[in-house]
Amino acid sequence: MRTDSSPGNLPAREHLPAGSAGTPVLDVVIPVYNEEKDLQPCVVRLHEHLKRTFPYAFRITVADNASTDTTPQVAARLESEIPEVRSFRLEQKGRGRALRTVWSASDAPILAYMDVDLSTDLNALLPLVAPLISGHSDLAIGSRLARSSRVVRGAKREFISRTYNLILRGSLQARFSDAQCGFKAIRRDVAQVLLPLIEDTGWFFDTEMLVLAERAGLRIHEVPVDWVDDPNSTVHIVKTATDDLKGVWRVGRALATGSLPLDRLARPFGDDPRDRDLTDVPTGLARQLVGFCVVGALSTLFYLVLYSAFRSFSGSQIANALALLVSAVANTAANRRLTFGVRGRGGAVRHQAQGLVVFGIGLALTSGSLAALSAATDDPSHSTELAVLIAANLAATVLRFLLFRAWVFPDRRDETPSTVVASYNPASHNPASATYTTAVHGHPHPHPHPPLPQRPGATQSPYHHTHATDEFRASDAANRTWGDATMQLQAVRPHDHDPRDAR
């Protein structure tokens, strides 16, 4: 499937509609590990800030990463005392694992997270999520490296942070400025498709999410933040840096080989309804023409070099056939990847076979031109041969583009991927083993989000309807043992704790 014109799994972004419903608009996740001292002040301060400044219903979810101190008890107490607080217990460590599990299970249309130390000024929270609510952006991140950011931290961490982002820019062509700031948000419809593609379960989770989103063409909004370093941070800098570099290598290799199905994240071009009402209009034609011309120009130069080399020890017909064959294979491979955006090895042999048929047509045109030249003159000069071949190749190029676009790499917009939705089964008590049921639908729901609730009249809607089909567990989601990466998780509630549970 071509990535330039595929509608993917994501609809055009829309402003979340305002209304009265029980689903929170924003779910702020706080991943913690042995944070018994900082957890309560963090949650209380965040809750007071949201109650005072955030105009819609919200939820705060504490994601406990297998803490061994009294952090679970503190989270349970906060849950029992504050209606907007939920706690979630995982039996395995990993910030990425916690975020993926809780975000996958959340029913809020806007998902965010922040570190428990609250190093980031909370006044940046509303500017962070506002572009996602309005439909302007897909993800939002806080940036400590923006020019207008005000940051207080040591020279060592400043050097490491800037060096890491330079590595990302140089190796993965990342354009966002701060990958590791613990202050990010994402739309739930985007998370449903993006999270299954992310492999990391630790600190590299953020970077991998942003790189894949950016490569897929999603819009990332950056918010300058005021940030004060936590001197008591327990992050192991050397180990984290080593793991991050391994992650950069893994993601870079996956992007280079085209093994990531980023076309699943494609959105329609333009969010105006008039853009979506257009029918029978080829999409991506201008970009494909530019790519095809660039590839064609390079292929022609490559062909002429080969022809001149082969002509030194063979006749013109044999030299033309050999040069055209080699350049045709290279041309098909380059157009497959660069012009028509086909990634991965699937269908590569078929595409080359079809490309050879196109090569045969080009060979007939160029060989016929040489035959006509030989009939016109007994001893044509080498420059005359090249001129005739260039003219014949121009004609063959036009025909090659039409055949590539209509036959070899046709637009597959009629292929609608199946999606899997999940809903919550409250029978299980342990969130790590909470059971979800899935159902397959042939078409996405036209309204991906419930009406946007106003906070004063918000009531908690406990669970959603269950569709009985195959089952998987939240722990499977955390360990990325899902089957098809097109899985989309629908509104579920991440809370199934009994406040009296002392875990």
CB atoms within 10 A of CB 309: 13
The pairs formed by 442-446 with CB atoms below 8 angstroms and a separation of 24 or more are 442/416, 442/418, 443/416, 444/9, 444/11, 444/419, 446/11
Cα–Cα distance between 451 and 18 in angstroms, integer? 6
pLDDT digits (tens, 9 = 90+) for 37-78: 989 999 999 999 999 999 999 999 999 988 999 999 999 999
Ranges of residues in the chain whose predicted pLDDT is under 70: 1-9, 17-22, 231-237, 266-284, 411-503
Residue 476 corresponds to which tokens in the numbers above?
């499977």
Q: Report, in this order, helix, strand and coil percent for the chain, each rounded to 5.
A: 45, 15, 40
For the question of whether the overall pTM of this predicted structure is more than 0.75, the answer is no
The pLDDT, as a whole number, for residue 445 is 43
Q: Extract the runs of DSSP E, i.e. beta strands, from 158-251.
A: 183-187, 220-224, 226-228
Q: Extract the runs of DSSP E, i.e. beta strands, from 218-369.
A: 220-224, 226-228
The pLDDT, as a whole number, for residue 188 is 93
Contact 103, 191 (CB under 8 A): yes
Q: Which residue has the tokens 């080699």?
A: 326
The kind and range of the H/E element at 388 are: helix 382-403
The pLDDT, as a whole number, for residue 283 is 53
The pLDDT, as a whole number, for residue 487 is 35
CB atoms within 10 A of CB 92: 14
Contact 265, 485 (CB under 8 A): no
The pLDDT, as a whole number, for residue 233 is 60
Count Cα neighbours of 177 within 13 Å in the Cβ-side half-sphere.
15
The pLDDT, as a whole number, for residue 502 is 42
Cα–Cα distance between 2 and 284 in angstroms, integer? 10
The kind and range of the H/E element at 112 are: strand 110-114
The pLDDT, as a whole number, for residue 61 is 95
